[in-house]
Chain A
Amino acid sequence: MNEETLAIRTTGLTKRFGEFTAVDSLDISVRRGSIFGFLGPNGSGKSTCIRMLAGLLLPTSGTAFVNGFNVAKDPESVKSTIGYMSQSFALYKDLSVSENLDFFGEVYGLKNERLRKRKDDVIELLAMQPYVDRRAGILSGGWRQRLALASALLHEPDLVFLDEPTAGIDPVARRDLWNLLFQLAAEGKTLFVTTHYMDEAERCDDIAYIHMSRLMVRGTPIDLKSLPEVSPEGTRRLAVECPSPALGLAALRDQPFSLDATLVESEVHLLVHANTTDEEILQAVRAAGLDDVSIRPTTPSLEDVFVSLTRSLNSP
């Protein structure tokens, strides 16, 4: 793939702060018009990476092209063609929705008729008409995020960075925001999203998972779930349904056949040796006094993927 079809391409992107390597030779590419999920534990280097891609931090080595511009050589062009929605609400609480939009529009060089047009467009897109004259400080979390997104979209960036856009907002607002993101992606915008929610990761076209400053894995959610490290040869994944899943988990977790056990909704998800029979599992559950148990094969969730990958990295 070339620059025409890629919104972001990094090669060996590295950032060191003294002795500490925050981002270690990262190679990622993000297709135009895709939703790219950038995942990893807190402190894994996600924010440093975004700051380099946004032209705020100079890479120590390696290169990064964003919208075709080299972030080290032409950060101004990068800044003009990206939108950025930060983790916490970063607009002015004492200014109204309309004034915040005016300010950021002008900073990006929008004027007069064009500014008015773009403002109307984003207000309509985010359905913010009733709130235009309200101070940002009194908006609820969900509406603040909408305002932040509106502000990030004003100057029609091709690529928008969203750093944990749904942290701390209610489920309805979360779903609304994702519907908006899908709509934006459908219009051809590239969205670079960080999140800790696995259901949000499932909604991304591509995922990169970084751990301890290094890229651990990347691909589509389906690719990742079929990685050999996630379901190693000689194992199988099962979903055990029982009346009290918590008791079931306690009964199954420490069994010799059990490699990994966790609760997903009201089921116990198990990773077991392939030669483990259903009867052995049933026995273990019944020993805990649980009846009415059913077992079926299942596929790994993204959570399973990251848990198994992180464990396999942490254990020598």
Chain B
Amino acid sequence: MRANPFRGLSAVARKEVKHLLRDRASLFMAVLMPVIQVCLYGYAIDFDVRHIPAVVVDFDRTRESREYIQRLHATEYIDFDTRADTEGEAVDMLRSGRARVAVVVPPDFARNVAAGRRAQIGVFVDGSDSQVSLRARTAFLGVQAGSDVRVTTTSMVDPRITVLFNPNSRTAVFMIPGLIGLVLQIVLTALTSSSIVREREQGSLEQLMVSPVGKFGLILGKLLPFLVLAAGEMLLILCLGYFLFDVRVAGNFALLFLLSFPFIVGSLSLGLFISAVAQNQAQALQLSIVTFMPAMLISGFIFPRETMPGFLQLLSSVIPLTHEVNILRGVIVRGAGYGELWPSFTALFALSVLLLAAASAKFPKSIQ
């Protein structure tokens, strides 16, 4: 008798759907995880730091010094709520964390401003949080002292900057598209990573192996239901992003799904691979966590790849999430199409084929 490698595909797929629908914990994770992540990353993470608490030590005590502080305050980046009498006291406040920035206005401030000289002030910035210190430093750049607000720049070049695609530099626009990739990988890899190992633990794998079910019938039967889940997951995050944060898809909606297809297959294959090599379900879960932690850090999802050392950039280029984040930001934020994104798509495609091949190779040998 000739073996049909696809035998049992639809039976396995329908069985997996039943497993999924009855496994409350997994279903909960699949639905709640995107909601929690979108809210966390959307609301909590804002690289546009504002209202940094600051302390002022004003030795000048003039109208000019008060006005200058008032202008800084008006930017909303720095809040001058507290005062100190000495420099030492101000630095103590930085150390205790009650203030992040201390501004010391020297006694000759107003005089210098009036004379048109460069008026110096001392600024202490808490460097323990680089995001905050960076923003605090830049906050001082645009604020001038005295009645002559428009002080000419010393540079002869006058850059007119236009920010494209995300003109207000909103963090949600940056985070949500990448988040789709991260959530897809976590949910899909975690769910499939338990699938084979669970069958092995409960003994049903042996029962399947003595049956004439085909190898691809089993593999594809296990993957297909998750493809549908993945599409649902993407849609869910896009909806959350749209309704909560007004993140719109600038490019082609259908293209977004099409270009993400290899990433979905890759994540599922990675899960199956883990499932085939893991000894038990706990180990499978740990392994899947191990795979997405570095992906999250070096894929460019949070930190720009450009700032990474060369070997990390190289490493991140073999991580599927890197390319998926590029595709998602390309289509959603920049309105890019296949013409622009094909290098990422091709890389993803190759990586997915590799992962699927690895998963098939590691699959229980007795199923032929």
Contact = CB atoms under 8 A, between A and B. Distances in A.
A163 to B, nearest CB: 10
A107 B203 contact: no
Contacts of B117: none
Contacts of B10: 106
Contact of A91 (B8, B12, B207): B207
Interface residues of B, number: 27
Contacts of B18: 94-95, 99
Given A57-B366, A90-B204, A99-B18, A104 B209 contact: no
Interface string B1-25: 1110001101110110011001100
A95 B23 CA distance: 11
Nearest to A99: B18
B254 interface: no
A108 interface: yes
B204 A91 contact: yes
Interface string A50-94: 010011110000000000000000111101101010111111111
A54 B210 contact: yes
B15 A103 contact: yes
B208 A107 contact: yes
Interface string B184-212: 00000000000000000011101111111
B212 A107 contact: yes
Contacts, number: 73
Contacts of A82: 210
Interface string B228-269: 000000000000000000000000000000000000000000
A87 to B, nearest CB: 8
A84 B368 CA distance: 18
B355 interface: no
Contacts of B213: 107
A84 B208 CA distance: 10
Given A94-B18, A103-B11, A107-B11, A79 B207 contact: no
Contact of B204 (A80, A87, A92, A99): A92
Contact of B210 (A56, A95, A106): A56
Contacts of A104: 207, 211
A80 B19 contact: no
Given A90-B204, A91-B204, A74 B7 contact: no
Given A94-B22, A103-B11, A76 B210 contact: no
Interface residues of A, number: 32
Contacts of B209: 56
A95 B92 CA distance: 65
A56 B8 CA distance: 18
B187 to A, nearest CB: 20
Interface in B14-48: 14-15, 18-19, 22-23
Interface string A212-225: 00000000000000
Contacts of A90: 202-204, 206-207
A106 B11 contact: yes
Nearest to B203: A90
Contacts of A88: 203
Contacts of B211: 79, 104, 107-108
Contacts of B368: 75
Given A56-B366, A75-B368, A76-B3, A84 B212 contact: no
A178 to B, nearest CB: 22
Nearest to B218: A107
A79 B203 contact: no
Interface string B208-222: 111111000000000
Contacts of B208: 107
Nearest to B209: A56
B15 A95 contact: yes
A77 B1 contact: yes
B75 to A, nearest CB: 58
A55 B210 contact: yes
17 contacts: A56-B210, A56-B366, A57-B366, A76-B212, A80-B1, A82-B210, A84-B207, A87-B203, A92-B19, A92-B204, A95-B18, A95-B19, A99-B18, A103-B15, A104-B211, A106-B11, A107-B208
Please name the 7 residue pairs, one residue from A and one from B, whose CB atoms are nearest each other, closest first. Answer: A90-B203, A106-B11, A90-B207, A84-B210, A77-B1, A107-B8, A56-B366
Given A51-B366, A82-B210, 11 more contacts: A56-B206, A76-B2, A79-B212, A92-B15, A92-B19, A99-B18, A104-B207, A106-B10, A107-B211, A108-B212, A109-B7
